A = this chain, B = another copy of it.
Amino acid sequence: MKAVAIDLGGSHAGIAIVEDRAILTSEHISLASEEGLKPALPKIQSVINGLLNNLAIKTSECAGLAIGFCGMVDGECSKVISTNGKYEDALSIDLAAWSMAEFGLPLAIENDARLALMGEWYAGAARGYEDVVMITLGTGIGGAVLIGGKPFRTKQPQAGCLGGHISVRSSGPACSCGAYGCMESEAAGWSLPLIVKNWPGVSQSKLASIPSVNFRSVFELAEEGDQIALDIRNHCLQVWAAGTIGLIHAYGPECVVFGGGVMQSADVILPFVRDYVKQHVWQPVGTTEIVAAALGNDAGLLGSVPLILAKMHSTQ
């Protein structure tokens, strides 16, 4: 099955023509989400037409158009319902009508984290599993959950997507979400500089002289034997591992997939999390594999075919 795939991020879009588990061709463009989605649509349309032309594929050969959106989505109704400041006009744009009018294709739209997990499940690290939790370690900590091979849903669209906002230290500092000591405020890209700044004795570490600390610097200095960097790294590892146990206890998944830029240090992160979980999880029946995401930025694009298939199935 061929499909048109759009992965709509806050500052860029990945656009592709996909066939089953392969990206036939793709292009990435910069977009200014603060200017809204309306001015972006003609640009996206032009890229799609160019990609189709290059491959000599007609839109009629495609089963649908899939969008991964960086906000909350009602997948059943194909509507954006909360934008979190990005493409705010998307709430009032009828994307299904746009897709049908411009390409003659039915639309399937989903939250970008959920779509990335569908991609990993269909074509990547979570192939063969039905119950999967994904944790994306980046500037924030993203989450998504599949149960029985379908995105976990309740009436509230955020369900399953707030795995980074389960408190691992409820007496800790405030998180951006309003709660305290979430996995995200304890160990993510945006909170790391604050953690480093307030770490006892940090002035004795090389970290103190780095203008903008990130996980790469922490992991590198830890590797070099900088004790403070090692302590901070271990703190973060422990937060991610304890948070993983919380998610395993909450959802009982067969597999947890770790993605995101911080996974450049997968060689340190995965063995630690696996060991910690093995020692401390309560799992009388079953086990949970802990693996690295396999598809990187292509995950959302490769989630398109299963998303369209699910949509076709649900409307039959």
What is the CA–CA distance of A169 and B238 in the complex, to the nearest angstrom? Answer: 12
Q: Is A81's CB within 8 Å of the partner chain B? A: yes
What is the CA–CA distance of A41 and B179 in the complex, to the nearest angstrom? Answer: 49
Given A162-B249, A245-B167, does the pair A155, B254 have CB atoms closer than 8 Å? yes
Decide if B154 touches A253 in the complex (CB within 8 Å).
yes
In the complex, the chain B residue whose C-beta lies closest to that of A164 is B249
Give the contact-size bracket for chain A: 35 or more
Decide if B284 touches A239 in the complex (CB within 8 Å).
no
Q: Is A177's CB within 8 Å of the partner chain B? A: yes
Q: Which residues in B have their C-beta under 8 angstroms from that of A178?
A: 279-282
Decide if B171 touches A169 in the complex (CB within 8 Å).
yes
Within 8 A of B (CB), among A142-162: 147-148, 152, 154-160, 162
Decide if A166 touches B250 in the complex (CB within 8 Å).
yes
Decide if A167 touches B131 in the complex (CB within 8 Å).
no
Q: Is A190's CB within 8 Å of the partner chain B? A: no
Of the candidates A131, A148, A238, A252, the one having the most CB atoms from chain B within 10 angstroms of its own CB is: A252
In the complex, the chain B residue whose C-beta lies closest to that of A186 is B170
Per-residue 0/1 for A162-176: is the Cβ within 8 Å of any B Cβ (1 yes, 0 no)?
A: 110111111100000
What is the CA–CA distance of A246 and B164 in the complex, to the nearest angstrom? Answer: 10
Name the distance in Å between A142's Cβ and chain B's nearest Cβ.
13
Of the candidates A130, A148, A284, the one having the most CB atoms from chain B within 10 angstroms of its own CB is: A284
Decide if A285 touches B72 in the complex (CB within 8 Å).
yes
In the complex, the chain B residue whose C-beta lies closest to that of A276 is B179
What is the CA–CA distance of A239 and B246 in the complex, to the nearest angstrom? Answer: 15
Q: Is A283's CB within 8 Å of the partner chain B? A: yes
Decide if B285 touches A179 in the complex (CB within 8 Å).
no
Partner of A179, one of B130, B156, B158, B242: B242
Q: Is A201's CB within 8 Å of the partner chain B? A: no
Name the distance in Å between A218's Cβ and chain B's nearest Cβ.
19
Q: Which residues in B have their C-beta under 8 angstroms from that of A72?
A: 284-285
Per-residue 0/1 for A242-283: is the Cβ within 8 Å of any B Cβ (1 yes, 0 no)?
A: 110111011111100000000000000000000000011111
Name the distance in Å between A249's Cβ and chain B's nearest Cβ.
4
Decide if A282 touches B130 in the complex (CB within 8 Å).
no
The contact sample of 11 A-B pairs, CB cut-off 8 A, is A84-B284, A156-B254, A156-B285, A157-B284, A158-B285, A167-B243, A178-B279, A178-B280, A179-B249, A179-B280, A179-B281
Question: A: which residues have CB within 8 A of B?
Answer: 72, 81-82, 84, 130-131, 147-148, 152, 154-160, 162-163, 165-171, 177-180, 238-239, 242-243, 245-247, 249-254, 279-286
- Cβ-closest 3 pairs across A and B: A159-B252, A156-B252, A170-B242
